Structure 1
Amino acid sequence: MTDTIKVLLVDDHPVVRAGFQRLLDNDKRIDIIAEASSGQEAVDKYFSTQPDVVIMDLSMPADDAGDEGLQSYGGLEAIRKILAKDADARVLVLTVMESEPFPAHVVQAGACGYLTKRCAPDELLKAVYEVSQGRKYFADSIKEMISPGDGEERSPFSKLTKREFQIFSCLAQGQPVAQIAEKMFLSPKTVHAHRANILRKMSIGNNSELVHLAIRHNIVQA
């Protein structure tokens, strides 16, 4: 008999978890061995249960202030923490976040797959099988965003370094420079320098335009 695929299901909404659990439980090859409702709980459950696949939502509040400046996206930080300690971890992102910069940052963090919550049930099952075998699986719409194009950058955020995107996210959430500097162990002068680079690369002139850009790309909610 083929071994079952052990799954850790991570989503901060119990109703959503219950729905995906019913779908996955209908497949005898899949066994949901644990659930988590936050990024840090996902990290803890991963190392205590050692699942074959983690199905990870992105839009979860982080458990701590985090050094990434992405408080509304605790799933992304959880992916980074898991992969930092276990490079062989197989993480499949399942989220409502369909636009850049999220796919690029998920790939950069080391996830093996990316689906949106609009995907068909059969596609989710297929993605779980593929990822469990060490292969990658990305929805077609996501592939278009992360695949190399004709030389043109597909997202304005691809111009930013990882640190600049972290600071961009903090600024978009309205955090003052002093708070960002303290949280990220930087000097205010360094944060100001990063902010200047961000404005230049994004071709925007002030924080108001920065916030509007973040809202348009679903980085913060209006």
Structure 2
Amino acid sequence: MKHISILMVDDHPIIIEGYQNVLMATKEDDQTLLIDTANNCDTAQLMINRASNGTPYDVCFFDISLPASEDGKYASGEDLALLTQKVMPDAKIIILTMFNESFRIHNIIKEINPDGFLIKSDLTSMELADAFQQILRFPPYYSSTVSNYIKKTISSEIYVDDINRKIIHLLSQGIKTKSLSEYIPLSTSAIEKRKKQLKLIFSVKDGKDESLLQEAREKGYL
């Protein structure tokens, strides 16, 4: 009998209940699932630290949007995933999130490189069950939105660094160029220069921000 120790972190108890029911109903005959749950960063980090000193978790599910810890040290599922990788390097990390913007997907893959990355709007019960079993054996498993993003960016010949990605992302959120320096540690003139480069990279002929965003969207950067 294989005992699989699991931590599920999501701030909606009904969602955790749904995940638990799916995994318990679809587990293989030789699997015993031991599931701990947490609804916020404080509870989760206590459980992670306790497990790292006792029986480490085999699999951890993290939602990205979570109530931050009291001390502000952990503000999201990303922070908890990084803590887990540090104290339990053998644990498989699964990110489940509503966020489906390319910028967030890129950052999560770059920072965490999870064993599983599932966008909630892609998920069915069967996909969650299949993903779980695949991640146990042959990670990684990415749901369709993540897979499509990776295919698009790998097939694109355009290289856009993290700051440029952030500029594109903020512009798409309606942030004006003169306000970008509030979000990015660069002067407005340095940001303007990067925008010009981006327009060259994306072959924007009319120089408009809207055209840049359209090209970025078509090539999978938004």
| Alignment TM-score > 0.5, same fold | yes
Distance 1:92 1:192, change over 3 A: same
What secondary structure, in the 3-state scheme, does the structure 1 residue paired with 2:2 have?
Answer: coil
Report Cα offsets for 1:125-175 as digits up to 9, x if no partner.
Answer: 3322443457322346754553599x842xx9x632122112222222233
Percent of residue pairs identical: 18
Distance 1:6 1:194, change over 3 A: same
Give, in angstroms, the shift of residue 185 of structure 1: 2.8
* 1:79 and 1:111 in contact (8 A); partners too: no
Out of 84, 107, 110, the residue aligned to residue 108 of structure 1 is 110
Out of 199, 206, 209, the residue aligned to residue 208 of structure 2 is 206
Out of 104, 121, 135, the residue aligned to residue 131 of structure 1 is 135
CA distance in 1, matches of 2:148, 2:172: 26
- Aligned partner of 2:19 in structure 1 is 20
CA distance in 1, matches of 2:7, 2:213: 37
CA distance in 2, matches of 1:167, 1:43: 33
Letter in 1 for 2:4: T
Give the greater-gyration-radius structure (CA).
Answer: 2
* 1:112 and 1:137 in contact (8 A); partners too: yes
CA distance in 2, matches of 1:193, 1:87: 43
What secondary structure, in the 3-state scheme, does the structure 2 residue paired with 1:18 have?
Answer: helix
Unaligned stretches of 5+ residues in structure 1: 64-73
Letter in 1 for 2:92: R
Report Cα offsets for 1:65-88 as digits up to 9, x if no partner.
Answer: xxxxxxxxx65x547744774693
Give, in angstroms, the shift of residue 45 of structure 1: 5.8
What secondary structure, in the 3-state scheme, does the structure 2 residue paired with 1:197 have?
Answer: helix
Query: Which segment drifts farther, 130-139 or 184-193?
Result: 130-139
- Aligned partner of 1:146 in structure 2 is 150
* 1:113 and 1:138 in contact (8 A); partners too: yes
TM-score, with normalisation over the residues of structure 2?
0.62
What secondary structure, in the 3-state scheme, does the structure 1 residue paired with 2:49 have?
Answer: helix
What secondary structure, in the 3-state scheme, does the structure 2 residue paired with 1:34 have?
Answer: strand
* 1:36 and 1:45 in contact (8 A); partners too: no
Unaligned stretches of 5+ residues in structure 2: 52-56, 69-75
CA distance in 2, matches of 1:166, 1:62: 24
Distance 1:146 1:163, change over 3 A: same
Distance 1:95 1:82, change over 3 A: same
- Aligned partner of 1:48 in structure 2 is 49
Distance 1:161 1:19, change over 3 A: same
* Count of residues in Structure 1 that have an aligned counterpart in Structure 2: 201
- Aligned partner of 2:71 in structure 1 is none
CA distance in 2, matches of 1:42, 1:134: 30
Letter in 1 for 2:189: K
* 2:202 and 2:215 in contact (8 A); partners too: no
- Aligned partner of 1:6 in structure 2 is 6
Report Cα offsets for 1:42-76 as digits up to 9, x if no partner.
Answer: 97467435543232345x3896xxxxxxxxxx65x
